[in-house]
Structure 1
Amino acid sequence: MNAAAMRTVMGYIAGLLFGLGLALAGMTDPARVVGFLDIAGAWDPTLMFVLGGAVVTTFIGYRLVFRRTRPLFDEAFQLPTRRDLDAKLLGGAALFGIGWGLSGYCPGPAIASVGGMTPPLAAMLIAMVAGWFVARRYAG
């Protein structure tokens, strides 16, 4: 298998593991996210523990991976180089947060939940895909 195909396969495997982790953590249930945001009501701290686990895993993982001179399935590490904050980044982050808070879904759990499609999930997925097209149209 060539390097490009191997990168694609590894990307799919990573995505499947991510989706499985979200499902096992209960993050495919939008009520969990809404419950986390409801600090004055029936607050649900589950999301905080999932995010904390992700931060710890990433912290350890980066230290282990960057001991290597190159990734297993590519010639070099591909890391972002931009560090500036512009209106597009801040606006996109705000729209992401608003959509996540209103729907209870972010893209990972939304796609992992497709098997149990509901009208609110379908509306969120349609809005997400429309957002991708709008972002591509105005990117640059």
Structure 2
Amino acid sequence: MRLFIALLAGSLFGAGLLISGMTDTTKVQGWLDVFGNWDPTLAFVMGGAILPMLIAWRLTAGRKSLTGNAFPPAAKPEVDRKLVVGSVLFGMGWGLVGLCPGPAMASLSYGGLGGVVFLISMAAGMFVAPTFGAQLDRAANAA
């Protein structure tokens, strides 16, 4: 049941990304081009994700999911070094390529070498991130 729900949720998410155009790198880069050919449609996609999630956090507090597991709590609003470094790296990749992890995976459904290269690079980054993070932690503690 859990795998079926994950498949259903992932398929719905991927379909939403395709329908909204978020797998089109020019649409994402158009959002970031505020002084040129700015495309504000990404704001509606973000709002369409943030508002339902805000409601979901409220409705699921203290409840169990269909699979019997507790829902994850909302993230704590702490701004630390890991959040800042991760956000900067994510934003740089997003701005340079025009894809983030979800749309990159969804873009594989219609081919394209750029999406494959991005996913391989993302996987490599995820692989080295714990080691790099541990080195940053040691350097911060030594200082």
> Which TM-score band (shorter chain)?
0.7 to 0.9
**Counterparts of 1:37 and 1:139 in 2: how far apart (Å)?**
28
More helix by share: 2
Q: Which residue of 2 aligns with 1:3?
A: none
Aligned partner of residue 74 in structure 1, secondary structure: coil
In angstroms, what is the RMSD of aligned CA positions? 2.1
**Counterparts of 2:55 and 2:100 in 1: how far apart (Å)?**
24
Alignment TM-score, normalising by the size of structure 2: 0.81
Q: Which residue of 1 aligns with 2:8?
A: 13
Q: Deviations over 1:71-123 (max 9, x none)?
A: 22124233267654332222111101100000000000000000233233232
Q: Which residue of 1 aligns with 2:111?
A: 117
Superposition map of 1:24-103 within 5 A: 24-66=19-61, 69-79=63-73, 84-103=78-97
Q: Which residue of 1 aligns with 2:140?
A: none
Alignment TM-score, normalising by the size of structure 1: 0.82
* Pair 1:81–1:124, CA change in 2 (3 A): closer
- The answer to whether the Cα contact below 8 Å between 2:64 and 2:70 also exists between their aligned partners in 1 is yes
The code of the aligned residue for 1:137 comes to: T
Q: CA deviation at 1:127?
A: 1.2
Q: CA deviation at 1:139?
A: 5.2
- The answer to whether the Cα contact below 8 Å between 2:30 and 2:39 also exists between their aligned partners in 1 is yes
Gaps of 5+ in 2: 135-143
How many aligned residue pairs are there? 134
**Counterparts of 2:15 and 2:75 in 1: how far apart (Å)?**
30
Superposition map of 1:121-140 within 5 A: 121-138=115-132
Q: Larger deviation: 109-118 or 32-41?
A: 109-118
- The answer to whether the Cα contact below 8 Å between 1:7 and 1:74 also exists between their aligned partners in 2 is no
